[in-house]
Amino acid sequence: MYCSSCGAYNQDDSRYCGNCGKRIGDEEVDESSPPPQTYSPPGHRVVPNIPNYLVQAILVTIFCCLPTGIVAIVFAAQVSGKLQAGDIDGARRASNNAKTWAWVSFGLGLGIMFLYFILALAGLAAA
């Protein structure tokens, strides 16, 4: 289900949003005592909406020209593994690393390729 407050995705049985910490499903949001971000009510496993950037990692590895995307896949696996283990802060760190490495691969790889491509088009236009 989606958080009624911030729109983040949460598991169906969660009571609090893993993203903003607000109660899910309640239209009246209790502002007096907001639970902390990683709060997990007993018996209710909250899986926060932490992206693992797996699709981006695959894109930069297979559809781009630098194999540094492999590192992004490693961090994507870490995000899922840490979420499964309940390590929310670790999952966030891995998520940030996955994002960074996806961008590094994209910037280095596709950036060079795109520049070359534009130059080739300019060459075709001039010819």
Residues near other proteins (CB under 8 A): 5-7, 9, 20, 29, 31, 47, 52, 54-55, 58-59, 61-67, 69-70, 73-74, 76-78, 80-81, 83-84, 103, 107-109, 112-113, 116-117, 120
Shortest distance, CB of residue 49 to other proteins, whole angstroms?
8
Q: In angstroms, rounded to a whole number, what is the distance separating the alpha carbons of residues 90 and 95?
A: 8
Query: Whose Cβ is closer to other proteins: residue 73's or residue 88's?
Result: 73
The angle subtended at Cα 49 by Cα 101 and Cα 84, nearest 5°, is 85
Output phi, psi for 13, to 5 deg. -95, 5
Closest to other proteins by CB, 70 or 89:
70
Nearest CA among 98, 55, 106 for reference residue 74: 98
